[in-house]
Chain A
């Protein structure tokens, strides 16, 4: 299905459109703009997303362009936002809702896990809920315990959901369009520390803006990055790093700084995932490190380790390592002791190479 040697971007549904430098915020906005234009059934709402354009400004200008009945403010009620989105989906719309921070998604959990995720199944396709739930995730902005979490594993544990996390503006736009067009409910996690540049974990150094990064060049029009498709972000021979979101750049920095020729797989779609790309890479390198920002225990890394063990055991030359956030709430002042930066990732790469 996915050739292991496929280079990054080879899967894009090629576009003739001009590429423009965009931040991830601009790329996400462009995706919503394109879809509002293409499909009358797309509506966008959430807290502060209407007139103001969202606290991260992802929907700025969309209400003025597409009208108040397509892009509007919602009450501060995440359960209500997702609940009405399920009803709109049942009617035939394609709602794209914003949860202001992933940390605020818990009041909506019943509507996500019991309703959106299972409506197609329980009604035997009589009703469906084709909604996209966007939410900024991850730390690195001194957001403390309520503006920093990465709850992807809570969603990957729910059957019927798709969980996606882009790592760059190009993928963000293509994946968001694919998510909006998808007939399944999609949890679309946006690593907020990547909104303005490819942050690699060196918090004491200035971040390169997306305008100076090749993945910040984004086509203006319609294109998709398919779901269930990982990218070989950095080809390599020594070991395989499985990562997504911010950790893709942290892993890249760790590989550069340790001189280890790591093959970094950017999952992009966390679940359902592109197992073939993962398995082909680990079978090639024989070593694997799993990295995520979220807490460790029952994190998605545990699932990745299990899958690699099930599918690649006889190719492994070293135990698989996990580098993750600690099993604590995301702290405020101690943010950088919590965050799994390039130093911790690099140390794991070395241990796995030495094993």
Chain B
């Protein structure tokens, strides 16, 4: 006789849904300053506790405390705050422009601005990021001209990508920003290859790979961990855990009762779980991982804990699947407000400077948008020529594409 009750399938659910608040205790947070900072040459297995705790520097009062508090100049802090503000203002303006049908689609990064900004500031020139579609803060920190970005978003006559890519799928090699695919996770293993190439050539550059919590379920994520470990590739493996992949909660990607950082330890990779809404923690953890990579000590996996405050894209309505005011209860707060509080607290920033900077950045974004609109938008028909469609499929255009271009009559 079978003594067991019938089996049942476990399908994870978030603690919050529309109509009832999220219980964020599932995040298992550490207190600011609580988590130890091992030497950069620590063995991967000696980081396992750091994969289950949370590296934090800024406390609730905005003070930088504990062993991870980085040595960072007020100038760099102000630069970082400005880049975060610019990212947020840019996103807000582009969401409006999308509603005005100047572009087909947009993806904002509200709430996640600290991660790309602080990470970019810790990297060096020549290092290469392999981003997802929500790392525009990397571009803002690298001061990529806004007009170029907006021309890509508008798919207009000056679109550097000749109208071939969805808005936000930028490619900016000179700013260390790899072409965004749109297919998820593919860039993660490519970043490992880029880092391996740098090591093969005896270069000093490193790669930085980006992925969201949802896409860690793709095989390219696991493959990347294996290759990065096997060849001790100089690469940072960033997992941005913003809790949501469109409408899918991170437990469906495998985050329940464990962490994404723990995936790294299991593969023999040094791993950290870090408050992604804490600019100083992001900067410090990035520095630690970058130093390891550049010293031939191999890869580091970093899970950045954050929250996708906006919709997945302009085609999404998150109030259908999570509490509409969820972000306001998220215990790690707003990264921009937290850095601002810190800078005012240490006396290098003021409300007035903040407002002036905000106004200046808004004017800069508006001016860039106006200039980009001079070259057209998707809706006004001033798009790249149809003949550009046939170019760059191959280095030299083969005969069959010349015939097809002729057939189209362009």
| Chain A positions near chain B (C-beta within 8 angstroms) | 1, 40, 43, 69-70, 74-75, 77, 79-80, 83-93, 95, 107, 110-111, 114-115, 119-128, 159-160, 162, 182-184, 228, 272, 275
Contact = CB atoms under 8 A, between A and B. Distances in A.
B149 interface: no
A291 to B, nearest CB: 22
A128 B173 CA distance: 11
A87 B207 contact: yes
Nearest to A276: B399
Contacts of B173: 123, 126-127
Contacts of A272: 394, 398-400
B392 A124 contact: yes
Given A88-B197, A159-B393, A123 B189 contact: no
Given A121-B393, A228-B398, A91 B172 contact: no
Contacts of B28: none
Contacts of B224: 80, 83
Nearest to B200: A69
A120 B165 CA distance: 12
Contacts, number: 142
A119 B195 CA distance: 18
B183 interface: yes
Given A80-B227, A184-B395, A87 B181 contact: no
Interface string B122-165: 00000010100000000000000000000000000000111011
Given A111-B186, A115-B183, A122-B165, A87 B226 contact: no
Contacts of B194: 87-88, 90-91
B191 interface: yes
A92 B197 CA distance: 8
A137 B310 CA distance: 49
Given A80-B189, A80-B224, A86-B193, 6 more contacts: A40-B201, A83-B227, A88-B200, A90-B193, A122-B179, A272-B398
Contacts of B189: 79-80, 83-84, 87, 111
B190 A87 contact: yes
A87 B164 contact: no
A120 B183 contact: no
Interface in B39-54: none
Contact of A80 (B130, B178, B226, B400): B226
- Which 7 pairs of residues, A with B, have the shortest CB-CB distance? A87-B193, A84-B193, A83-B189, A87-B190, A91-B197, A80-B223, A123-B179
Contacts of A95: 193
Nearest to A40: B201
A69 B173 CA distance: 26
A278 to B, nearest CB: 12
Max chain B C-beta neighbours (<10 A), residue from A122, A125, A128, A272: A122
20 contacts: A83-B189, A83-B227, A87-B191, A87-B196, A88-B197, A89-B193, A90-B178, A91-B128, A91-B198, A91-B201, A95-B193, A111-B186, A120-B394, A120-B395, A124-B164, A126-B160, A126-B171, A126-B179, A159-B393, A160-B394
B220 interface: yes
Contacts of A183: 395
Nearest to B130: A87
Contact of B392 (A84, A87, A90, A120): A120
Contacts of B227: 74-75, 77, 80, 83-84
B179 A83 contact: no
Given A77-B226, A84-B190, A88-B197, A124 B395 contact: no
Which of A1, A80, A84, A228 neighbours the largest number of chain B CB atoms within 10 Å of its CB? A84
Contacts of B398: 228, 272
A114 B161 contact: no
A75 B226 contact: yes
Interface string B195-209: 111111100000100
A122 B223 contact: no
Interface string B310-328: 0000000000000000000
Of the candidates B128, B169, B189, B193, the one having the most CB atoms from chain A within 10 angstroms of its own CB is B193
B123 to A, nearest CB: 16
A246 B219 CA distance: 35
A114 B189 CA distance: 14
A202 B274 CA distance: 65
Nearest to A269: B398
Contacts of A110: 183, 186, 220
B171 A122 contact: yes
A122 B164 contact: yes
B223 A93 contact: no
